[in-house]
Amino acid sequence: MPRTPIYLDNHATTRVDPRVVEAMLPFFTDSYGNPASVTHAVGRAARDAVETARAKIAAAVGGAAKESVFTSGATESNNLAIKGIAGHPSRRGRHLVSVVTEHPSVLEPLERLAAAGFEVTLLPVAPKGHPRAGLVDPQAVADALREDTILVSVMLANNEVGAIAPVGEIARICHERDLPLHSDATQAVGKTAVDFRALGVDLASFSAHKVYGPKGIGALYVRHRNRRARLAPLIDGGGHERGLRSGTLNAAAIVGFARAVELCLEELPAEAKRLRGLRNRLFAGITSALDGVTLNGPVLEREDWRLPGNLNLAFGDVDGESLLMNVPDLALSSGSACTSAQPGPSHVLRALGMADDTVRSSVRFGLGRFNTSEELDYTLCLIVEAAARLRRMASSA
Ligand code: PMP
């Protein structure tokens, strides 16, 4: 039997890789200088480490070092991109376009802007059962654009159903109108090959703790010397990060972030294949042992439409929360757990046109680097046993 609990919530966060911890440690006690204190060697050592890390991270995501702004995480990066575009004095229009299935750290800033007089169009996604379930149609983006549109924001990969959006195509549509495109790439970086420059995004958010790095550090990619990407800062102060995000840089976390991204990149093709294999085996095992279990999100066969480690299933007449309570050895999330600050049926699954009962029967499996084949076999047994038990109990009640 594998060691428990078995962690299958890698979309929520990941365990820090020991190799990342090792890279970070000297920056707490030896190279502890302030990266902005360049008048002495202690500060310069920290500055050099930050700049080396910045270059590594940029290279891993298809950007240049000067195109990254360090933040506290993707929540802040999304806020900076959206409010930063809307708040820049060069912007005249008041219309923004996004998608219903975005993360709350995109939807809530949009909501706040709407309350302040902006107009927001949220586009639908293909419904459950459709091969491209959870994906936005680029034509719908084109149709939503207006004379007064100032920003389009479309996430690269969804955190609940793993849908990978056609962001390259959407970028072309936006650029025909000289409009900036922001993409929340938090779930895509490290899991799929990401190249922001090739994709054509102007702004992109990502975060270290989703890629086996530390919590509390993220970045916003800001396309260099481009009118479209001009932002107003959210945090003013000493003018760090080219005035876009003041505050002393967390050198230890930044070094860890770079090491984490570097490791993902080194291991990416083999790891994606391994996770896809484990994920597909889990899906086949569950659906052959239990009737009435259906897939939420895009088809598993399309590697370009779905994240390798993502599986989201509706268990039909079995309540998702009860199922989770019956498998205490598994660290899993129900369809609604991602916005744990505001519990309720998942807005993503609802956007797939699913009834509340089906949403409530859903469970998200997020497979990651430290999951083994043995763990997945055990997971299959526990899930099938628990779902069958709950069904027996319901039918005898
Ligand atoms: N966007 C997506 C798609 C996410 O999955 C998350 C984390 N749940 C965030 C943004 C927020 O990231 P952070 O925790 O780094 O603020």
233-278 pLDDT, tens digit each: 999 999 999 999 999 999 999 999 999 999 999 999 999 999 999 9
Question: Do residues 314 and 361 touch, judged by C-beta distance below 8 A?
Answer: yes
Q: Choose the residue to mutate in 103, 154, 191, 220 for probing ligand 1, maximizing ligand atoms within 8 Å of C-beta.
A: 103
CA distances from residue 390 to 25, 331, 386 in whole angstroms, order as listed: 47, 19, 6
Range 359-375 average pLDDT: 97
Distance from Cα 72 to the centre of ligand 1, integer Å: 11
pLDDT of residue 336: 46
| Residue closest by Cα to atom 12 of ligand 1 | 74
Q: How far apart are CA 288 and CA 303, in angstroms?
A: 22
Q: What is the largest CA-CA distance in the chain?
A: 76
Describe the crossing of helices 104-115 and 74-87 by its angle, rounded to 10 degrees.
30
Q: How far apart are CA 253 and CA 70, in angstroms?
A: 10
pLDDT of residue 1: 86
- The secondary structure of 288-307 as a DSSP string is HHSTT-EE-SS-TT-TTTB-
**For 383, what's the count of Cα atoms within 13 Å in the CB-facing half-sphere?**
32
pLDDT of residue 341: 60
Distance from Cα 186 to the centre of ligand 1, integer Å: 6
Peptide bond between residue 5 and the one before it cis (omega within 30 degrees of 0):
yes
Summarised one tens digit per residue, pLDDT across range 268-326 is 999 999 999 999 999 999 999 999 999 999 999 999 999 999 999 999 999 999 999 99
pLDDT of residue 396: 86
Q: Which of 115, 109, 34 is nearest to 75 (CA)?
A: 109
- For the whole model, what pTM was predicted? 0.97
Q: For residue 338, indicate whether it is catalytic.
A: yes
Question: What share of the chain in percent tops pLDDT 90?
Answer: 94
The pLDDT mean for the chain works out to 96
Q: Choose the residue to mutate in 11, 108, 159 for probing ligand 1, maximizing ligand atoms within 8 Å of C-beta.
A: 159
Structure tokens at 102: 């975005």
Q: In this structure, how many other beta carbons lie within 10 angstroms of the beta carbon of residue 74?
A: 27
* pLDDT level of residue 337 (50, 70, 90 thresholds): very low
Q: How far apart are the two ends of the chain, measured CA to CA in Å?
A: 33
Question: Do residues 133 and 127 touch, judged by C-beta distance below 8 A?
Answer: yes
User: What one-character DSSP code corresponds to residue 210?
Assistant: G
Query: What SS3 class is residue 186?
Result: coil
